[in-house]
Chains A and B, each alone.
Chain A
Amino acid sequence: MMQPVRHTPGPLHLAAVVLMRELRLALRRWDQVLQPLIFFVVVVTLFPLATNPELSALRHIAPGVLWVAAMLASLLAADALFRPDVEDGTMEQWVLSGQPLPWLLFSKSLAHWLLTGLPLVLVTPVVAVSLGVEQGFGTIMMVLALGTGVLTLLGAVGAALTVGLRRGNMLMALLVLPLEMPVLIFGAQAVESAMRNEPALGIISLLASVLLLAMILTPFAMAASMRISIE
């Protein structure tokens, strides 16, 4: 007797499918993937031009410059997170697929972080040297990795909320930036203590717990917003 086999993919399988799809798509339009990274470097470049270019002076503002640039880059990237999929109908299929939407959107955000957050973290040491940072690169990268994770998740909520609007770009900045300010505060503090070679474990733990909390809660907010946006 032949039984029709019904495939119910497990959550990890599902996440892998989403991840592979996102990475494959990103490979095909890699120039777009590079844009947030270039934006990050360009924004950092603006500060020495606008203020005192002495390294000793730049060192004072380096943590803030790095974080503000990272926030703006992640905000710019987040707008393109769901828009193509919503416009070509893929997102509708995801919502109707019967698979847990929060999990799908979380996997998509993870892929998004791998494509925009991680490159930013990797390029940070180079950018930091140009701002006069001399030590603590490992800690700075760690802090930025945790922080950009939170930024990506919050940006994804904002993107899901505004994806149904024709011109949601400016609005999204208005919604997401206030929520991201705590990350900016803690992140810049952590970078500052890393630069002075002081222990930053306390702030890193705090950022890590914020990231965990965001990983648990934001997918549900994303899914609820997405259902409203595409109806």
Chain B
Amino acid sequence: MNWIWFHKLASPPSAYVFATRLRPWLFWVSVVMMLWAAYQGLFVVPLDYQQKDAFRIIYVHVPVASLSLLVYSMMAIAAAIGLIWRMKLAHAVAAACAMPGAILTTLALATGSIWGKPMWGAWWAWDARLTSELILLFLYLGYMALRASFDDIGRADRASAILAIVGIVNVPIVKYSVVWWNSLHQGQTLSLFGKSEIDPSMATPLVVMIFAFLLFFGAVLCDGLRAEILRRERNASWLSELKV
């Protein structure tokens, strides 16, 4: 296997061009998928026998919540790659993950809260799933605060990478909190490979919505990565010759 394409991609100029070209595809495909899934989820899918119309918030809540974990894992893996192989682009990817990740976590908490009020009768409960998701938000915020407190970008990269890696212990805790503890939050109902506990008519739009959010995050990440590259390479000569 020839890895030259990979090494090429890891250089800032080609990564910049690649992200610029990829972005519109990710964005528009995700918009189409999102519109379809939102229409299905809001108008076509039948009512839940217990939760009635209120369950429809699942089409926002589950995608943002699962992405909040996925993005953190991505951030930690990218940070580890940057730390171990001293790959600057990986650090840029990790840095670009933080803000969207924090926003996704906030959205997951907010939509969960809105869903919880009619279902559990409370905006918030000190439950294992909710608390660990809140800790995830704190980890994102701490990561960004640490990054912002260094003047030198190389040191900021490596110091925040260690924090991201240490913080990954929280990811399995969030994921399995509904299994390990008696939780007010419902258990896992959707499974991509095994048998889901959710009805197929409800599941299909949900799966499409999850992938739509994933692609949308990809588009946001492309933008964030481009901004990071511009910030890091602002004195580089290739930028003045760039034509995209």
Total interface residues in chain A, CB < 8 Å: 20
Assess A179 versus B149: contact at CB under 8 Å? Given A164-B155, A228-B155, A228-B159.
no
* SS class, residues of chain A in contact with chain B: helix
Question: 1/0 per residue A153-171: CB within 8 Å of B?
Answer: 0000100011011001001
CB of A171 within 8 A of CB of B149, answer yes
In the bound assembly, the distance between CA atoms of A228 and B165 in angstroms comes to: 15
CB of B155 within 8 A of CB of A181, answer no
B60 at the interface (CB under 8 A from A): no
Assess A171 versus B159: contact at CB under 8 Å? Given A178-B135, A221-B166.
no
Residues of B within 8 A of A228 (CB): 155, 158-159, 162
Question: Which of B138, B159, B173 contacts A161, CB < 8 Å?
Answer: B159
Question: 1/0 per residue B140-181: CB within 8 Å of A?
Answer: 011001100110000100110011011101100100000000
CB of A168 within 8 A of CB of B149, answer yes
CB of B166 within 8 A of CB of A157, answer yes
B139 at the interface (CB under 8 A from A): yes
- Number of A-B contacts defined by CB within 8 Å: 54
Nearest CB on A from B126, distance (A): 10
* SS class, residues of chain B in contact with chain A: helix
Assess A161 versus B135: contact at CB under 8 Å? Given A174-B142, A179-B167, A182-B173.
no
CB of B162 within 8 A of CB of A161, answer yes
In the bound assembly, the distance between CA atoms of A207 and B161 in angstroms comes to: 26
A175 at the interface (CB under 8 A from B): yes
Nearest CB on A from B131, distance (A): 8
Nearest CB on B from A221, distance (A): 6
Residues of B within 8 A of A168 (CB): 149
Within 8 A of B (CB), among A108-125: none
Residues of B within 8 A of A182 (CB): 173
Query: Which of A's residues lie within 8 Å of B, judged by CB?
Result: 157, 161-162, 164-165, 168, 171, 174-175, 177-179, 181-182, 221, 224-225, 228-229, 231
19 A-B pairs whose Cβ atoms sit less than 8 Å apart in the complex: A161-B163, A162-B149, A165-B149, A171-B145, A171-B146, A171-B149, A174-B145, A175-B146, A177-B138, A178-B135, A179-B167, A179-B169, A179-B170, A181-B131, A182-B173, A221-B165, A224-B158, A225-B162, A228-B162
